[in-house]
A = this chain, B = another copy of it.
């Protein structure tokens, strides 16, 4: 057999029992004849506890020291996991991000992987050992300082190592059975997908599905690394994320991959912007300077009589205050009339590679929302996605109606909890 990379999140190794359970699974993969590399996150609440300690000693801790602090979390979980595997009679060696050859840039707290040189991991595998690697961390190429990768960092570590080791598969273990056609907490009849393409998964992740982080899927697509998302609490097959054409005719050639939703955004409307060249640009420059990532942007057609226009956009709620401050500062310069802030919004997205070749999807989507009494605020589309902004209170209705309208409902109701991944 080949090389298998497995990633376990913090909830899977939250305590000693969890560590022992995960060790058992790792040994199963080894006994099946694989070379096994394991990427692990910090145990349960460790990271939050460390952040809390940092806040007690400094209101604004330097990024370098914050990364030094937080990386202690994986050091603990990986060493314990290596011990637990050893206790089952198989040799395991733990490696920090630095030891595993995860080379990053110097952006503390959100470093990007620029190279992976896993010679020590390869040596451990060659000697028959299981390698346990700290997720979420690396070492900066220039300063040799310890870095952390930020959100989705452990998943990305796993995919990056899998690519560098030419692994057969990167298995991401989580607390749900795989990728579902909608959040089962909202749609009880949501179905687990057996397969989904990279591009569909990218759109799902970008639209609020929390099961995998965007950057991990991007990395996997770039290197063509198959990801198998599955539960660490069962042995069921999960969801395969690949670029292959699915072979299961009945389900996987469906037009629609799933319905995603996102409650983390807010909407800002700049009212009464003079419709002159450069005014809109000035607004977006100000937001860019404030380091704010915008999602959807809509500009109304200018009313001829007044020559004024409105510009609306969505952004992460966490950035709302910063954006409002930045815009207020340029109010006189740009000469707009007012700012409106609304954080009672949600985004609902319909995603499917099949919609490329099926006209009429948009019309069907909008009419089903109308039938459900859902008012559409903003719209944006890509080749394989349609997203609408609705009132937050109508998100559940919109998701349920859409899931049903596109025949995604399962006959059986799966009893799962749809949770997010941590790091």
Contacts and interface: CB of A to CB of B under 8 A. Distances in A.
Interface of A: 16, 19-20, 23, 50, 53-54, 56-62, 64-66, 68-69, 71-73, 75-76, 78-84, 86-87, 92-94, 99, 120, 144
28 contacts: A20-B57, A23-B57, A50-B76, A53-B80, A54-B83, A57-B80, A57-B84, A57-B87, A58-B83, A58-B86, A58-B87, A59-B87, A61-B86, A62-B83, A62-B86, A64-B94, A65-B79, A65-B82, A65-B93, A65-B94, A68-B78, A68-B94, A69-B76, A69-B80, A69-B83, A71-B75, A72-B73, A120-B144
Contacts of A62: 82-83, 86
A54 B80 contact: yes
Given A75-B75, A144-B99, A68 B54 contact: no
A20 B73 CA distance: 22
A68 B82 contact: yes
Nearest to A62: B86
| Max chain B C-beta neighbours (<10 A), residue from A72, A92, A120 | A72
- Copies of this chain present: 2
A81 B75 CA distance: 19
B57 A83 contact: yes
A16 B53 contact: yes
A72 B69 contact: no
What does DSSP make chain A's interface, helix, strand, loop or mixed?
helix
Contacts of A87: 57-61
A22 to B, nearest CB: 10
Nearest to A23: B57
A276 B144 CA distance: 63
For the complex of A and B, 3 pairs with smallest distance between CB atoms = A16-B56, A69-B79, A58-B87
B76 A53 contact: yes
Contacts of A53: 16, 76, 80
A249 to B, nearest CB: 46
A61 B83 contact: yes
Contacts of A79: 54, 65-66, 68-69, 72
A76 B76 CA distance: 11
A324 B19 CA distance: 38
